[in-house]
Chains A and B, each alone.
Chain A
Amino acid sequence: MKPRANLNWNWLRPEMNMMKNLSVNRDAKWHLDHPYNARHLLFAIVALMILAVTGSRMEVPRMVQETAQGVGYVVGLNEESSVATGVKRIAESIWPLRISEEIEVSRIENFDRNDLPWLSHVEVIESRTPHLNTETLQLEETIESKEVLVKPIGYLSHVLLKMLETLEMALWGTILAVALSIPLACFAAANYAPNRFVYNLARSTISLFRAIPELVSALFLVLAFGFGPIAGFLALGIHSAGFLGKFYAEDIENADRGPQEALQSIGAGQIKTLWYGVLPQVLPQYIAYTLYILDRNIRMATVIGIVGAGGIGLELKGRFDMFNFDHVGTILVIIFLTVIILDQFSARLRSRLM
C-alpha cells in the first residue's frame, strides 16, 4: 500500500463534519407533528359558518337552482326557465347588430340631394301605423312613406369614433397619472424624501388617490366640468396616479444602492442622483407599470362614461336606457375587440422591454 501521509483530505471536511453530526444524533427521539390539530378544525368550522351565512344572504341557492334550470332548458330537460328566457330575449334583440344608421331626410338641415355623404343613399320606406277609427270602430292602417338617408356603416363608424375618444381618454388619464406620480413618488420614497412630514404627506396623498374609485370621482367631476371627456380622464388620472405613485416609490426604494452611493459620494445632488443612478435601473419596470395602467385605463374608460364622463360608456348607457339592444350589441362587440387587441399589443410590448 502506498503511503498516504501526503494525501490531502481537506476537501472532504464538510462531509466528515456532517457524518459526525449524524452519528451524534442517532439516539435522539424524532417526532414529526401531526399535520392537523384543533386550530385547523376551528378554522374550518368558522369558515363554513361564514360561507353559510353570507351565502344565504347572497341568495346563492336560488342562483344555483335557476342556473341549473337554465342549463336544463338548454339541453331539453326543462319546459321553461326564467333565466333562459331572459337571456334569449336579450340575445334576440341584440342580434343582428346595428351597423347602419337611418336619418329622416326631413330632419336634416340644408339637405342636398346631389351631394350625399360618403357611401350613403336615400331610401323611401313605408311605415304602417294601425289605429282605431272611432266612427266605424274598425282597425285601420295609415301608410306613411318617408324618405330616409341610409348610411350603411353609419352607426359602426359612430361607435368607432366614440371608441377612439375612449382610447384618448385613457391615454390622457395615463399621461396625467405619470405626471402626478413621478414627483409624488420621489417624495414618497423614504431615501429621497426631504423630511418625515413630506414623506407622510406624499404617502397619504397616494393612498387617498388610490382609495377613490374612478366612478365616484367621475360623478363629482362631471358636476364640476360638465358632461364629456374632461371629467373622465381626470378621474382616471387621479385614481391611477395612486397606483403608479406607489409602484414608482417602491422601485426607487428598492433600487441598487451602489450607483447611488457612487454619485452621492462625489456630491452630485439628489436630483442628478435620481436621474443617473436610479432612473436607468428602474426604467424598464416603470414602462411595464405604465403600460399596465394604460391597459387598465382603457378598460375603465369604457365604463366610466356611464356616469356621464364621455367616451363609449355614455353611448352605451343611452342606448341601454332606450332599450336599443342592437346598438348595445355593436358597442359591446367593439369594446370586446378593442380590449383584446390592445391586450395582445401591450403584452408583446412588455415582453420586448423586459
Chain B
Amino acid sequence: MLRFENVYKRFPDGTEAIRNISLHVPKGQFCVVLGPSGAGKSTLLRMLNGLSQPTEGSVHLAGEQITERSIQRLRKRVATVHQQFNLTPRMSVALNVLSGALPQVAHWRAAVGLFPPELREKACRLLDEVGLTPEHVNRRVSELSGGQQQRVGIARAFMMDPAVLLADEPVASLDPRISRGILELLHRQSRNHNTTVLCSLHQPELAREFGDRIIAVNQGRLVFDGTPEQLTDQVCEDLYHGALAHKNDVPEVDEAACEPELELAAA
C-alpha cells in the first residue's frame, strides 16, 4: 500500500531529516513509528500527504508514485490526524467534521455551508462511532476537551473513506488514560474501515499494544523494524538513551559539585 524507496529529505537550511529510508507497509497494517523528537517521524508522514516532498528517492501510494501532479488526486485517499488536532476553532463540531469531505463538495455548496444530505448523515454516523453525543454537534470545537477534540479530528479523517490514515503523534498532548482511549478508537476505526495506518508515537508500551508492526527512526534513519514482540525494553533503551540514540547534547549535572549543598539541605 505504502512504499518508500531510498528516500532522502534535506531542508534548505542543510539539515537532513530523512536519510535513505526504504519501507513497505502492506494494506490494512497498523504500523507504529517510534523515535525521539526531531528524528524525522513527522517528515516521513508528511511526505505521504503532500505537505513535504522527498529530495531524493520516491514514495508510492497504492502502486502509484507521489508526484506534484498525482498528489492532488492521491491525497484525497490519505487522511491525517494531527498532534494539535488542527481543527478550525470557533467553528462547530459538525462543520469541522464535514470539512473533512470538502474536496468532494461543490464550491457553491461549500461557500454557503449546504452540505449534501448523505455527507451530513455520514458525519453524524462517524461522530457516533468516535463516541461523541448529539449535544456536541453544534458546539464550538474550542469548547471541547483535548480528548474530545481529537475524537472530532478522527471523525473528520474518516469522512472521505481514506485508504491510508496518517496519525502524527495523535496522543502527544493528551494524558495517558485518554491516550489509550484515542488509540483504541483509531485501532478499531481503521480495522472497521480496512484502513492502512501509519502512526507516530512516543510511548513504546502503547506501540506494543496497538501496533501490528513497529518501526523506529532516529536521525532520519530507519533503526528498527519488527513486530511488537521484537520491540524489547533493551531496544527502547537503546533508541532513547543508548546505541541507537544520537549524542545527548543536554549537559549533565555534575553530581559531585552538588554534594555540599545537598548536605546542607538535608541537615
Contact = CB atoms under 8 A, between A and B. Distances in A.
A281 B50 contact: no
B160 A266 contact: yes
B99 A281 contact: no
B75 A7 contact: no
Given A259-B86, A265-B75, A280-B91, A19 B107 contact: no
B262 interface: yes
B243 interface: no
Interface residues on A, range: 20 to 34
B75 A16 contact: no
Interface in A84-132: none
B78 A280 contact: no
The DSSP consensus for interface residues of chain A is: helix
A136 B104 CA distance: 101
Interface string A263-286: 111111101100111001101100
Contacts of B91: 276, 280
Contacts of B102: 263, 266, 268-269, 272, 276
A73 B181 CA distance: 83
Interface stretch (B21-29, B58-66, B198-206, B253-261): B253-261
A9 B85 CA distance: 37
B178 to A, nearest CB: 20
A263 B86 CA distance: 9
B99 to A, nearest CB: 5
11 contacts: A258-B82, A259-B88, A266-B76, A266-B103, A267-B71, A268-B99, A269-B102, A272-B102, A272-B103, A276-B91, A284-B90
Interface of B: 49-51, 71-73, 75-76, 78-80, 82, 84-91, 95, 99-100, 102-103, 105, 107, 110-111, 156, 160, 253-254, 257-258, 261-262, 265-266
Interface of A: 4, 7, 9, 12-13, 16-17, 19-20, 256, 258-259, 261-269, 271-272, 275-277, 280-281, 283-284
